[in-house]
Amino acid sequence: MAYPETFFVTGASGSQGRAVARKLLSAGHKPSSLAIQKLGATLIKGDYDDIAALEEAAEGCTGVFILSMGTQPASLEIEQAQNIIDASIAAGVKKAVCSTVTRAEEAEKFIGLVPGNPHFAAYWPTKKAVQDAVQTAGFETWTILQPAWLMTNWIAPVGPFFFSELKKDKLLDVALREDTIIYITAPDDMGSFALKAFEGGLSGEIIRVASDGLTIGECASVVSEVSGVKVGWRIKTEEEVEKQKDINPLVASQIWARDEGPKVDLEKVRGYGIPLTGFREFLESHKEGLLEAID
């Protein structure tokens, strides 16, 4: 493979896209992005509805990292992903790596799990549609990466959204079971998998990516030990879950994690030879963000 290659990285203002861009740069490649330039990437102004900007970003690129963002209505996410795909194909991009969600290909199984929650009902079918579009677009190689719950969800700025009681009550209040394994993914590990895919491995694979797996009690212990702040945990009652599941997408997603889950095989993930980031290691390297989410 000739070096350096140029890659079109979408979602580069977020944790996954930024990690992919960083890994590509560290390997000597040149990311082209609609979002960032601080890392050394080429900045292309525009958005996912701006076909001309997408085509400019994809021009001259060997590969594209596709990260579709959740939208309302959900159909817009599919349209925007298709815009990225079409622009990339038109520009002659040969390789695609797409980040979706664990078990997206099984979307039909989950539609009836929380039917009264419109966000949840559309979530997996939307990700499946994006995933299918990438697989059938005509790229020479494609890889689907399916991250579990991102470790960045535990730190600022998004941590308080996922754990609204954390800052005020120092509590992780969830609709899981005590023994539910929460599979979590470090963005940097997603970047490493994307780099491996772009550099010639993993073609035609759908890979569920998790870096660690812990119960909610174990998560609370790690958060407490790293932050120095005692954080407790609580399982919502079934009555609370019933009242909240149709109006709170977080509760709906935790019902899925409790009753179905991502079904990640950590030993299989380790078998790809990519060093994985433990939850404690991630929090220690993002301690400032963790403390901001708690205090």
What would the pLDDT profile of 249-269 be if each residue is shown by its tens digit?
A: 999 999 999 999 999 999 999
3-class DSSP state of 248: coil
- pTM attached to this predicted model: 0.94
Confidence bin at 31 (pLDDT 50/70/90)? low
**Average pLDDT for 55-72:** 88
For residue 45, what pLDDT is reported? 59
- Find the mean pLDDT for residues 191-219: 97
User: Does the pLDDT at position 43 exceed 70?
Assistant: no
What CA–CA distance (Å, rounded) separates 11 from 208?
A: 19
With a pLDDT cut of 70, the percent of the chain lying above it is 93
Task: For 132-173, write each residue's pLDDT tens digit.
Answer: 999 999 999 999 999 999 999 999 999 999 999 999 999 999
Compute the mean pLDDT over every residue in the chain, rounded to the nearest whole number. Answer: 92
Look at residues 170, 143, 148 and name the one whose alpha carbon lies nearest to residue 159.
170
Share of the chain above pLDDT 90, in %: 78
The contacts of residue 193 (CB under 8 Å, 6+ apart) are 145, 202, 207, 209, 272, 274
Q: Determine the Cα–Cα distance for residues 118 and 81; give it in Å rounded to an integer.
A: 21
Within 13 A of 80's CA, how many CA atoms are on the CB side? 21
Query: Is 66 exposed, middle or buried (CB count within 10 Å of its CB: 0-12, 13-18, 19+)?
Result: buried
For residue 37, pLDDT beyond 70: no
**How large is the average pLDDT for residues 220-225?**
98
* CA separation for the pair 213, 261 (Å, rounded): 12
Asked if omega into 147 is within 30° of 0 (cis), the reply is no
Whole-number pLDDT of residue 11: 82
Alpha-carbon distances of 214 from 83, 84, 180, 222, 282, rounded to whole Å = 38, 35, 8, 10, 14
- State yes or no: pLDDT of 186 exceeds 70: yes
Instruction: Report d(CA 259, CA 79) in Å as an integer.
Output: 31
Whether residue 34 has pLDDT greater than 60: no
Q: Lay out the sheet containing 6-9: strands in order across.
A: 42-43, 30-33, 6-9, 63-67, 95-99, 141-147, 206-209
Contact partners, residue 288, CB within 8 Å, separation at least 6 = none
The CA distance from 66 to 131, in Å, is: 10
